[in-house]
């Protein structure tokens, strides 16, 4: 058999790798030939023949660099995904950018509570009114929804039923305003004149006005007729029975379909919705430090062992030599390659875990505690003055 073997040297040219991710990186071009020499010698050359060519070593090195980048940026993407989620897909590449933590995702999660509490959120509250009829106590809200909104009562959810009484301040008499006999309106340009009773506060503090307004509202609750309602099976029943001229009862409601919608309205913009869209690309080889490159060389060597093991496994294990036969070591190469790759990946992931935000903050706290303990042993200086 005429098996191609490693000639002992190589000369890298762009295009020698399958994908060409790093072919134009000058440092990668230099290290490719150095790695081919390193790997071949680690595999036994020139004592034994190595059934590999330069392109096999280049392929192993390219795969190792890509694997290193994938592990690194997968960790970075997971560490900062809450900050990336919801951002535009057109943002700059994250490789050389410093991620800025933000609360956007947390706010989106809390919006649902704002909707139910009526203090915000991403579901629109609508308002409508029911015309009250004298001596009519019960009102069918299913009928109201169908006639007013054109939907069935089950399509909406009532959030608030109320009667908007005039503000207490409109029934406020301030004897110290102006001449003491009435009010001088100062906000008429916006139609707010009826809500500003005073023009000066020379005699009474502002807390007096606040207490008086609260007293008026409390008086309405206790001394005047207490209006209430009950809502059972979409039938609204008022207490007491309305009497006198017709009036309105206001209703605030939401459409259940709005709340049940699981998607955020992004205004038509493409945003990052999952971790595969975080804008990381392959690393720049020349910027990887010596720690990363050493891991890459070791991982590429494991891949070279794996390739050589597959090649030798294709041939008869018994190879004749002068006066005897020898066996190829394909099983040993494949076993060693698998073991080396697993150990290297585990070591790399443990290394990344040590540099996580959580781990660094915990280490900083431990360092601070240790420093405080150490400083307590330092004698205090006594000043005599």
| Mean predicted confidence (pLDDT) in 73-79 | 94
Residue 179 pLDDT > 60, yes or no?
Answer: no
Residue 363 pLDDT > 50, yes or no?
Answer: yes
Secondary element (H or E) of residue 353: helix 330-354
| Mean predicted confidence (pLDDT) in 77-106 | 92
Strands 126-131 and 228-232, bridge-based pairing: unpaired
**pTM for this structure?**
0.74
- Please tell me the distance from the alpha carbon of residue 120 to that of residue 111, in angstroms, as a whole number: 7
Residue 282 pLDDT > 70, yes or no?
Answer: yes
Domain coordinates in residue numbering, the chain: 26-97+277-372, 121-260
Q: 115-164, pLDDT tens digit by residue?
A: 888 888 889 999 999 988 888 889 999 999 999 999 988 899 999 888 77
For residue 284, the model assigns a pLDDT of: 96
Q: Which of 96, 94, 70, 74 is nearest to 84 (CA)?
A: 94
**23: DSSP letter:** T
Q: Which of 67, 59, 73, 58 is nearest to 11 (CA)?
A: 58
Burial annotation 292-307 (CB, 10 A radius, 16+ → b, else e): bbebbbbbbbbbbbbb
For residue 201, the model assigns a pLDDT of: 46
For residue 202, the model assigns a pLDDT of: 53
For residue 162, the model assigns a pLDDT of: 82
For residue 91, the model assigns a pLDDT of: 92
For residue 322, the model assigns a pLDDT of: 60
Most confident of 128-142, 247-261, 264-278, 285-299: 285-299
Question: In 80-166, which ranges are continuous DSSP H helix?
Answer: 81-84, 104-117, 141-148
Question: Which residues partner with 249 through β-bridges?
Answer: 130
- What's the whole-number average pLDDT of the chain? 86
């Amino acid at each position: 058999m005429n098996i191609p073997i490693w000639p002992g040297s190589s000369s890298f040219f762009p295009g020698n790798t399958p994908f060409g991710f790093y072919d134009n990186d000058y440092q990668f071009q230099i290290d490719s030939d150095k790695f081919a020499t390193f790997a071949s010698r680690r595999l036994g050359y020139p004592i034994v023949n190595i059934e590999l060519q330069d392109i096999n070593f280049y392929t192993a090195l390219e795969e190792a660099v890509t694997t290193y980048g994938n592990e690194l940026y997968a960790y970075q993407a997971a560490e900062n995904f809450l900050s990336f989620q919801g951002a535009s897909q057109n943002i700059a590449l994250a490789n050389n950018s410093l991620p800025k933590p933000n609360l956007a995702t947390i706010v989106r999660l809390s919006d649902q509570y704002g909707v139910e509490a009526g203090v915000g959120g991403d579901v629109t509250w609508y308002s409508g009114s029911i015309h009250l009829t004298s001596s009519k106590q019960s009102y069918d809200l299913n009928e109201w929804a169908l006639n007013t909104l054109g939907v069935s009562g089950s399509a909406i959810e009532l959030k608030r039923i109320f009667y908007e009484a005039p503000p207490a301040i409109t029934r406020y008499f301030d004897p110290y305003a102006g001449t003491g006999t009435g009010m001088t309106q100062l906000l008429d340009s916006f139609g707010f004149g009826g809500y500003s009773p005073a023009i000066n506060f020379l005699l009474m503090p502002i807390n007096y006005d606040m207490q008086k307004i609260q007293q008026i509202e409390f008086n309405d609750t206790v001394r005047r007729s207490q209006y209430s309602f009950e809502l059972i099976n979409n039938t609204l029943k008022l207490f007491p029975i309305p009497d006198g001229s017709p009036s309105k009862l206001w209703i605030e409601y939401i459409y259940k379909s709005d709340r049940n919608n699981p998607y955020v309205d992004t205004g038509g913009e493409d945003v990052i919705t999952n971790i595969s869209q975080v804008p990381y690309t392959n690393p720049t080889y020349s910027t990887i430090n010596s720690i990363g490159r050493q891991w890459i060389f070791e991982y590429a060597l494991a891949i070279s062992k794996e390739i050589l093991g597959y090649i030798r496994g294709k041939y008869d294990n018994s190879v004749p030599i002068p006066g005897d036969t020898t066996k190829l070591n394909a099983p040993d190469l494949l076993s060693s390659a698998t073991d080396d790759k697993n150990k290297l990946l585990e070591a790399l992931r443990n290394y990344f875990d040590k540099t996580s935000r959580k781990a660094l903050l915990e280490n900083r706290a431990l360092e601070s505690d240790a420093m405080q303990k150490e400083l307590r042993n330092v004698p205090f200086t006594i000043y005599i003055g």
